[in-house]
């Protein structure tokens, strides 16, 4: 069984995807980490994230990069949103994601184009969302816990800018798959959101 979990930044999709993977005993891939690894490589090599050629050159990153804590930094996320808009970057990372999704037994993947591009044949597709202000609150709390002094207003502005870039890019924009089930986590606890996600997947499994 392939489970696709898509949604914008700080919507809760990663937490939900990990929980679904544990529940169904499936391997999990946070595809956003791949783009963050490209972003981190661009930053480390002092390349230009707006240059498609520079971003593609950074796609040949060492696998150990995926474990680097810098991938979770907000700056890396901002650069990841820029490099992910390049069609050739998405093409370079696409086959790796497709192989993971279609391994024997299935998998859970979360990202922004899993249900539309990477695994349009997924048995269950969730599109996780929350209001920008609530997502900014979540991200701000997370960043503060790591010692960041970034303001809430800046985080909210960054969230809105990323939403605009992700939704308006020409290649694999952030949109729900036609057959995806919407899950709004704005006013749900983590436990409630996970329980609802499992229930939604079960409905798709039985269909």
For 93, the enclosing helix (H) or strand (E) is helix 87-101
Q: Is 14 annotated as a binding residue?
A: yes
Give dist(CA 108, CA 26) in Å, integer: 6
- Name the nearest CA neighbour of 133 among 153, 150, 119, 114: 153
Q: Token pair for residue 45?
A: 């090599």
Q: Is 111 annotated as a binding residue?
A: no
Q: Is 98 annotated as a binding residue?
A: no
Give dist(CA 80, CA 84) in Å, integer: 6
Q: Token pair for residue 104?
A: 């024997």
Give dist(CA 19, CA 2) in Å, integer: 14
Q: Is 18 annotated as a binding residue?
A: no
Q: Is 32 annotated as a binding residue?
A: no
Three-state DSSP class for 121? coil
Q: Token pair for residue 78?
A: 């901002």
Q: Is 157 annotated as a binding residue?
A: no
Q: Is 50 annotated as a binding residue?
A: no
Q: Is 12 annotated as a binding residue?
A: yes
- The residue written with tokens 């985080």 in the block is 155
Q: Is 7 annotated as a binding residue?
A: yes
Binding residues: 7-15
Binding residues for ATP: 7-15
């Amino acid at each position: 069984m392939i489970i696709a979990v898509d949604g914008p930044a700080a919507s809760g999709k990663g937490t939900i995807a990990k929980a679904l993977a544990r529940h169904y005993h499936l391997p999990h891939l946070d595809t956003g980490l791949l783009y963050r690894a490209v972003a981190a490589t661009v930053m480390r090599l002092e390349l230009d994230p707006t240059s498609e050629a520079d971003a593609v050159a950074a796609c040949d990153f060492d696998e150990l990069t995926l474990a680097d804590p810098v991938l979770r930094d907000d700056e890396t996320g901002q650069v990841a949103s820029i490099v992910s808009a390049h069609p050739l970057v998405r093409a370079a990372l696409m086959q790796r994601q497709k192989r993971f999704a279609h391994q024997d037994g299935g998998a859970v993947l979360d990202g922004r184009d899993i249900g539309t591009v990477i695994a349009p044949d997924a048995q269950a597709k969730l599109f996780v969302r929350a209001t920008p202000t609530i997502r900014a609150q979540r991200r701000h709390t997370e960043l503060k816990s790591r010692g960041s002094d970034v303001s809430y207003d800046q985080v909210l502005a960054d969230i809105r800018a990323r939403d605009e870039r992700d939704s308006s890019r020409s290649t694999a924009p952030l949109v729900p798959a036609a057959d995806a089930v919407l899950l709004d986590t704005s006013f749900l606890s983590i436990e409630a959101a996970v329980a609802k996600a499992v229930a939604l997947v079960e409905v798709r499994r039985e269909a």
